[in-house]
Chain A
Amino acid sequence: MSNLRQTARTSEHPGGSENHGAVRIYGVVLGVGVVCALAIVTVYEITRPIIQRNRIALRQRAILDILPGASTSRAFRFDAATQTIQPAQADAAESEVVFAGFDDEGQLVGLAIAAQGMGYQDVIRLLYAYSFAAEAVIGIRVLESRETPGLGDRIEKDANFLTNFEKLDVRLNQQGTELANRIEFVKAGEKQHPWQVDGITGATISTRAVAEMLSESTAAWIPAVHARQADFKFQGREAP
Chain B
Amino acid sequence: MAIGLEQETPLSADDFLDGVFKRNPVFVQVLGMCPVLAVSNTAINALAMGLATSFVLLMSNLVVSLIRGVVPKQVRIVTFILVIATFVTIVDYLIQAISLDLHKALGAFISLIVVNCLILGRAEAFASQNGVARSMLDALGMGCGFTLALLCLGGVREVLGAGSLFGARLFGDAYQEWVVMMLPPGGFFALAAWLLLINWFAQRKHQALESTT
**Among B71, B74, B100, B182, contact of A58 (Cβ-Cβ < 8 Å):** B100
Cβ-closest chain B residue relative to A24: B72
Determine the chain B residues whose CB is within 8 A of the CB of A146 once the complex forms: 104, 107
Shortest beta-carbon distance from A46 to chain B in Å: 8
Interface with A: B81-89, B165-173, B189-197, which one? B81-89
Q: Contact mask B57-96 → A, CB, 8 Å, 1/0?
A: 0000000000100111111001100110110011001101
Q: How far apart sit A54 and B124, CA to CA, in the bound complex (Å)?
A: 38
Determine the chain A residues whose CB is within 8 A of the CB of B90 once the complex forms: 39-40, 43
Assuming the contacts A149-B183, A150-B183, asked whether A7 and B93 have C-beta atoms less than 8 A apart, the reply is no
Is the CB–CB distance between A6 and B73 below 8 Å?
A: yes
B208 is an interface residue with CB less than 8 A from chain A: no
B130 is an interface residue with CB less than 8 A from chain A: no
**Among A1, A33, A43, A58, contact of B94 (Cβ-Cβ < 8 Å):** A43
Determine the chain B residues whose CB is within 8 A of the CB of A6 once the complex forms: 73
Is the CB–CB distance between A3 and B93 below 8 Å?
A: no
Is the CB–CB distance between B96 and A39 below 8 Å?
A: no
Determine the chain A residues whose CB is within 8 A of the CB of B161 once the complex forms: 150
**Among A2, A25, A51, A58, contact of B75 (Cβ-Cβ < 8 Å):** A25
Q: How far apart sit A23 and B127, CA to CA, in the bound complex (Å)?
A: 25
A231 is an interface residue with CB less than 8 A from chain B: no
Q: How far apart sit A11 and B75, CA to CA, in the bound complex (Å)?
A: 12
Is the CB–CB distance between B96 and A36 below 8 Å?
A: no
A133 is an interface residue with CB less than 8 A from chain B: no
A55 is an interface residue with CB less than 8 A from chain B: yes
A95 is an interface residue with CB less than 8 A from chain B: no
Q: How many B residues touch the partner, as a band?
A: 20 to 34
A50 is an interface residue with CB less than 8 A from chain B: yes
**Among B70, B74, B82, B94, contact of A36 (Cβ-Cβ < 8 Å):** B82
Determine the chain B residues whose CB is within 8 A of the CB of A44 once the complex forms: 93
Determine the chain B residues whose CB is within 8 A of the CB of A55 once the complex forms: 100
**Among A10, A43, A50, contact of B74 (Cβ-Cβ < 8 Å):** A10
Q: How far apart sit A176 and B57, CA to CA, in the bound complex (Å)?
A: 61
Is the CB–CB distance between B89 and A40 below 8 Å?
A: yes
Q: How far apart sit A25 and B90, CA to CA, in the bound complex (Å)?
A: 26
**Among A10, A11, A40, A148, contact of B183 (Cβ-Cβ < 8 Å):** A148
Determine the chain B residues whose CB is within 8 A of the CB of A3 once the complex forms: 73, 124
Assuming the contacts A28-B79, A146-B107, asked whether A51 and B93 have C-beta atoms less than 8 A apart, the reply is yes
Is the CB–CB distance between B73 and A2 below 8 Å?
A: no
**Among A21, A51, A58, A150, contact of B72 (Cβ-Cβ < 8 Å):** A21
Q: Contact mask B100-133 → A, CB, 8 Å, 1/0?
A: 1100100100000000000000001000000000
5 sampled A-B residue pairs with Cβ under 8 A? A3-B73, A28-B67, A28-B75, A36-B86, A55-B100
Q: Which 7 A-B pairs have the closest CB atoms?
A: A36-B86, A150-B179, A50-B97, A47-B97, A47-B93, A51-B96, A43-B90
* Residues of A bordering B, CB below 8 Å: 1-3, 6-7, 10-11, 21, 24-25, 28-29, 32-33, 36, 39-40, 43-44, 47, 50-51, 54-55, 58, 144, 146, 148-150
Given contacts A11-B74, A54-B99, 10 further A-B contacts (CB under 8 A): A3-B73, A7-B73, A29-B79, A32-B71, A32-B83, A39-B86, A39-B90, A43-B93, A144-B104, A149-B41
